[in-house]
Amino acid sequence: MTSGLFHVPLWIELVAAATGGIQGALFAAGIRDRRIDVLGVVAIGLTVALGGSLMRDVVLDQLPVVVSSEWYLLVAAAASLLGMALQSVLTRTEWLISLLDAAVMGIFGAIGASKAVAYGAGSLGAVLVGVVAAVGGGVLRDLMANRPISIIHVGTLNAAAAGIGASMLVLLLRIDVPVGIAGPISAVATALLRIAAVHLGWMFPEQGPLSLGRAQLRRDRRATGEGGQLDDHPREFPRPPLRTRARRRLQLRQRGVFTWKRHYGTEPRRRRSLDSGS
């Protein structure tokens, strides 16, 4: 297996940190139920920009890169302030922010997964670290703002895109593909899947119990017959509502059938017609 770190130029990582800072500022601007000061905006921006990398290094028991170099903190904080000042302009370029967000997710996920493999993590563990690196900032942001965590609610594929990209990287490394090739493939796959999910509205279905569809119910009824039996056990159907029974009784009465006679085991009889003469 080919192991090693997926390295990207420092300026790309700083652009990713700046994108996270801007996203944090826009998220803070969208909170209307409480007043957030400038320091709060910077804190949320730093969390979004660097939270995933911080969680990645903590999981791998390494010195977090965000504290070993001051550039990450400075760039993320400055981007947060810039996003706060230009939020009216940035909201009109939401498509650009979405593209940058997808690219950042792919890059951070690939870096996290390759770093986990290089430090001896298993395949599933490396995928988990890649997902944490990609979406950890958003999780910490939601916890800080006391909001529902976005990745566990119905929405566009976020953690799933990161997981698929990290899985691709781990698989390519297992078949001895150089990390310099596997890393970009993983990052591009994650970004494309994320962009497609946002624009096409892809999402997982909402949780709920399993149930038979209408087609399956019709097949069961045809197989057993109307009111028949299945496996020598009588099929119990719920009694229809009172209003439905009353409507059925009225229809039978209009046809001249005394419905209550059926309850006593006698044959239904017809009402005397007016022209029968009897």
Domains of the chain by residue range:
10-200
Tokens matching residue 73: 């903190």
Section 227-255 average pLDDT: 56
**Model pLDDT, residue 219:** 63
Name the packing angle between helices 123-144 and 159-174 (round to 10°).
Answer: 160
Would you call 108 exposed, middle or buried from its count of C-beta atoms within 10 A (0-12, 13-18, 19+)? buried
pLDDT of residue 163: 93
The model carries a pTM of 0.69
SS3 content of the chain, % helix, strand, coil (to 5): 65, 5, 30
Confidence band of 129 (pLDDT split at 50, 70, 90): very high
Residue 146 pLDDT class (50, 70, 90 cuts): confident
5-19, 33-47, 69-83, 121-135: the lowest-pLDDT one:
5-19
Q: How far is CA 179 from CA 1, 2, 131, 140, 202, in A?
A: 10, 7, 18, 29, 30
CB 26 within 8 A of CB 90: yes
Q: Please, what is the end-to-end C-alpha distance for the chain in angstroms?
A: 100
Per-residue pLDDT reduced to its tens digit, 71-121: 999 999 999 999 888 888 877 777 777 887 888 888 889 989 998 998 888
Q: Average model confidence (pLDDT) for the chain?
A: 79
Q: Is the pLDDT of residue 236 over 60?
A: no
The percent of residues above 70 in pLDDT, for the chain, comes to 72
Question: pLDDT tens across 37-51, in order?
Answer: 899 999 999 999 999
Choose the most confident range, by mean pLDDT, from 8-17, 62-71, 149-158, 200-209: 62-71
- Is the pLDDT higher at 209 or at 166? 166
Stretch among 165-174, 199-208, 218-227 having the lowest mean pLDDT: 218-227
